[in-house]
Structure 1
Amino acid sequence: MKIIKISSKAKKVKIRVENVDDLFYLKNFIEPGDEVKARTPRSVFLEREGDIKKVGKKLMLIKILVEKVEFIPSINQLRVSGKITQAPENVQLDSYHSIEVKPGKFLTITKKEWKKYQIERLKEAEKKTPNIMIAVVDLDQATIALLKNNRIDILSEIKNQFSLQHEEKRIQEYYQKTAEEILKYAQQMNNIILAGPGFAKEHIAKIIREKSEDIYKKITIGSVSSSTITGINEVVKLGLADKMLGESELLKESKLVEEFFLHLKKGDGFVVLGIDNTFQANELGAIEKLLVSEDKIKDKKIENLALDVESKAGKVQIISTIHDLGQQFNNIGGIGAILRFKLKWD
């Protein structure tokens, strides 16, 4: 994402969408009540002999008052819909329009409220992060994923139809197929993590080395307990990608949730869990870091809490549900806080 201009006074930001990752940020950044302006195709109608006929579409600069924001993963598109508030004179105001957002699109977003945590996430999206492949393998299956700044995308899953009881040739065919699948994506990757519970990873790494020394140099081999999405999450949790990613949003979230669960397990009074306890902690000025699941943040009550926490110099972290720790946090309520000082409840 490229932030072209930002004005906290006008509560306005102009951006250029550069990749699919940006759409994930914008899905949570743009809200009902915001205004979005962009060049967008709009149907043009002409009246001829009393009949109104559609004559095609024309690119127009249109501003809408947002009512709905929808991400469509099948076509990697964000659809922002609402009533038109500004447009060329031949376009009826207050009629409905959808702005389809894809990489390359320029948007001007005017917020009804300027939330610090949202702007921080937007600036985070501007940082360039490497493409990292994670492949977790064993004798039963392989799962290959792309690790980005704020999400994990599964690229491929391969099942081994042959067990150890089958001849060695069949097992080698599975290794070969897995290596070829990794090589298919490898050119686009900055780094590759090849991990798993057994020795399959070493066999596959050897095949890759024989085919391409350059690709082999990108590989880091590690150990995890699973060759499924659980293993992918384990790679992130164990920090195998830390040096490659830097302080990415995904890594920052994972570490923060880990810290939260550690205090929760100890029962040391340095965290609170649930809406009521979190609100009480905020009233006491105790919140250092507010953690909110992305599924909960658009609740008006929680939004107001986040703003109040920021006004008291607290930090707000939105927790994505695309990684294992984020899902666990969401499953136990999706709202809690790490505290400045210890609290004990009666």
Structure 2
Amino acid sequence: MKVLIRELKKWSAPATVLLSLYIPPGRPIPDVLNLLRQEASIAQNIKLKRTRDAVTSAIQSAIDRLTQINKVPDNGLVLFCGENFDTNEFKCFMFSPPEKVPIFFYRTDKSFHTEFLEDMIEESDVYGLIIVERDYATIGILKGTRIQVLEEFEGFVPGKHMMGGQSQRRIDRIIEEMYANFLKEVGEKVNAFFIPFVENKKMKGILIGGPGYAKKDFYEGDYMDYRLKKLVLQPLFDVPDQGDAGLKELVMKAQDLLKNQKYIQVENLLEEIKYHLAKDDGLVIYGISDIRKALQMGAIDSLVVYDEPGSELEKLAQEAENYGAKVYVIGDELPDGEWVKKTFGGAIGKLRYKIY
């Protein structure tokens, strides 16, 4: 699906001639055909001959394909038909997607509308990440193999003064009020970033960390929306750093809670690969040709492939999936992404057994 979307996004036209059609399950095929025939009739009024011919061809191709089926599949149907004006190539794709088509959508435009498909392949499980200390915070998310910093910001909360007497108590109250206001600001930003994920039912859990007591104050105080507070995973974690490094440390410290999460799985796999490389026990494979031979033998258990659209690596990832290997496609968002790319040509795998 990712490969198809990349292909479709390359197509463009100077006029609205590329047809996108999404048909949800339960929609009668005759109703859709009637609509397309009406659109074909309207298209005859287009003045420019090439545009008129291109629109007509796209609609007719969609009609030809839909007349060959009796019923919309359980997940619905998607059609993309049109001419690439740059290459004069004409294609028409029709398929049932991996998830149910949510709406009926028809449009001819200067590009294909792939946004509904992109929603389907987007990683559904999201984990919220919060690192908070007395006057500094980082908010981020973990999604698939990507950790993303959403915001990193600093407050101004002075340290305690030693003046004594009533002045000391007054200053302490002011400092504590500034501290509470900073935690309130953190909570407001967390709510703004995370609540949309909760409403879309994509927020799986929230991790909170930090170097001191502020993380506990933040969690126990009334700073987060109640829906978010229910998603906080325990325990709270001691994390000394902020920013991207801090978020990565937070995730790795919580790996027992995230065993089925892709970031943890690929990090653990790469650590296992490094272990086998150090032992030189013949259980690691790299090099595209050698990997292909091992795949044909059924010898590869897991494969890490650097994300490089349109390359041999992309083809290799598809082949590996067809052979039943566990495939992890990674980019520079992982600390070892550059290592896999530069040291091993973009692909490295763990074998089930020695083959040499």
1:304 to 1:146, Cα distance in 2 relative to 1, 3 A: closer
Please, what TM-score do these two structures have when normalized by structure 2?
0.56
Q: Which residue of 2 aligns with 1:202?
A: 216
Measured in 1, the distance between the counterparts of 2:249 and 2:127 equals: 15
Measured in 1, the distance between the counterparts of 2:321 and 2:227 equals: 47
Helix, strand or coil at the partner of 1:219? coil
Q: Alignment partner for residue 235 of structure 1, among 233, 244, 250? A: 250
Measured in 1, the distance between the counterparts of 2:340 and 2:157 equals: 38
Helix, strand or coil at the partner of 2:151? strand
Q: Which residue of 2 aligns with 1:178?
A: 186
Measured in 2, the distance between the counterparts of 1:28 and 1:314 equals: 18
Amino acid at match of 2:249: E
Instruction: Report the alpha carbon displacement of residue 137 of structure 1 after superposing the two structures with TM.
Output: 2.3
Alignment of 1:180-329 (within 5 A): 180-187=188-195, 188=198, 189-208=203-222, 215-220=228-233, 221-240=236-255, 243=257, 247-275=260-288, 278=291, 286-295=299-308, 298-300=310-312, 302-303=313-314, 305-306=316-317, 314-326=325-337, 328-329=339-340
Helix, strand or coil at the partner of 1:260? helix
Please, what TM-score do these two structures have when normalized by structure 1?
0.58
Say if 2:135 and 2:179, in contact at 8 Å, map to a contact too.
no
Residues paired across the two proteins, number: 274
1:191 to 1:290, Cα distance in 2 relative to 1, 3 A: closer
Helix, strand or coil at the partner of 1:298? coil
Measured in 2, the distance between the counterparts of 1:37 and 1:227 equals: 47
Instruction: Report the alpha carbon displacement of residue 158 of structure 1 after superposing the two structures with TM.
Output: 1.7
Structure with greater helix share of residues: 2
Q: Which residue of 2 aligns with 1:148?
A: 143
Which segments of 5 or more consecutive residues in structure 1 lack a partner in the other structure? Answer: 1-25, 69-80, 88-95, 108-121
1:29 to 1:229, Cα distance in 2 relative to 1, 3 A: farther
Say if 1:197 and 1:227, in contact at 8 Å, map to a contact too.
no
Percent of residue pairs identical: 22
Which segments of 5 or more consecutive residues in structure 2 lack a partner in the other structure? Answer: 12-17, 23-38, 63-79, 94-108, 162-170
Say if 2:5 and 2:114, in contact at 8 Å, map to a contact too.
no
Structure with greater strand share of residues: 1
Say if 1:32 and 1:67, in contact at 8 Å, map to a contact too.
no
1:311 to 1:63, Cα distance in 2 relative to 1, 3 A: closer
Q: Alignment partner for residue 134 of structure 1, among 121, 129, 132? A: 129
Q: Which residue of 2 aligns with 1:75?
A: none
Instruction: Report the alpha carbon displacement of residue 262 of structure 1 after superposing the two structures with TM.
Output: 3.2
Q: Deviations over 1:29-67 (max 9, x none)?
A: 54549999732999969567x99999xx99965514789
1:263 to 1:159, Cα distance in 2 relative to 1, 3 A: farther
Q: Alignment partner for residue 115 of structure 2, among 102, 112, 116? A: 102
Measured in 1, the distance between the counterparts of 2:232 and 2:129 equals: 10
1:252 to 1:199, Cα distance in 2 relative to 1, 3 A: same
**Cα RMSD for the two superposed structures:** 5.0
Q: Which residue of 2 aligns with 1:117?
A: none
Q: Alignment partner for residue 334 of structure 1, among 333, 346, 356? A: 346
